[in-house]
């Protein structure tokens, strides 16, 4: 059984790639990304964590940002993946594949 702390620690290194993958499917703002993750079982992810990663992703030039008027409060920043972000996502999936193959190899050979 997975312990929430273990999940949180493992997610730290993968959450950026997960956000890029979400944005590859559609443009979204921070709350939508957080809600998408929570709807898929990542209930312990703090909204602040997602926003901090979005700032970093934006600073690295991996997304385009558009301010869209909101009915509730200030304009929302809507993020969409650009070509540099797609390259970073491709690298993430390559690394992910490498790691999962090696971990599966370890798991099966260790028996």
| pLDDT at res. 78 | 98
| pLDDT at res. 91 | 97
- Structure-model confidence comparison of residues 10 and 104, the more confident one: 104
Q: What would the mean pLDDT of 67-94 be, rounded to a whole number?
A: 95
The torsion angles phi and psi of 77, rounded to 5 degrees, stand at -90, 115
Question: Number of structural domains, the chain?
Answer: 1
Domain that holds residue 97: 4-109
Q: What is the pLDDT of residues 8-51, one digit of tens each?
A: 777 777 999 999 999 999 999 999 999 999 999 888 888 899 99
Q: What would the mean pLDDT of 62-88 be, rounded to a whole number?
A: 95
Q: What is the CATH number of the domain that holds 48?
A: 1.10.10.10
| Arithmetic mean of pLDDT over the chain | 91
């Amino acid at each position: 059984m997975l312990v929430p702390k273990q999940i949180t620690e493992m997610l730290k290194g993968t959450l950026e790639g997960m956000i890029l993958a979400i944005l590859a499917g559609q443009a979204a703002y921070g709350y939508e990304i957080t809600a998408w993750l929570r709807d898929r079982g990542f209930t312990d992810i703090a909204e602040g964590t997602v926003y901090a990663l979005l700032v970093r992703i934006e600073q690295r030039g991996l997304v385009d940002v558009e301010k869209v008027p909101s009915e509730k409060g200030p304009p929302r920043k809507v993020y969409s993946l650009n070509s540099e972000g797609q390259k970073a996502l491709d690298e993430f999936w390559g690394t992910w594949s490498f790691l999962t193959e090696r971990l599966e190899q370890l798991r099966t050979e260790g028996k």
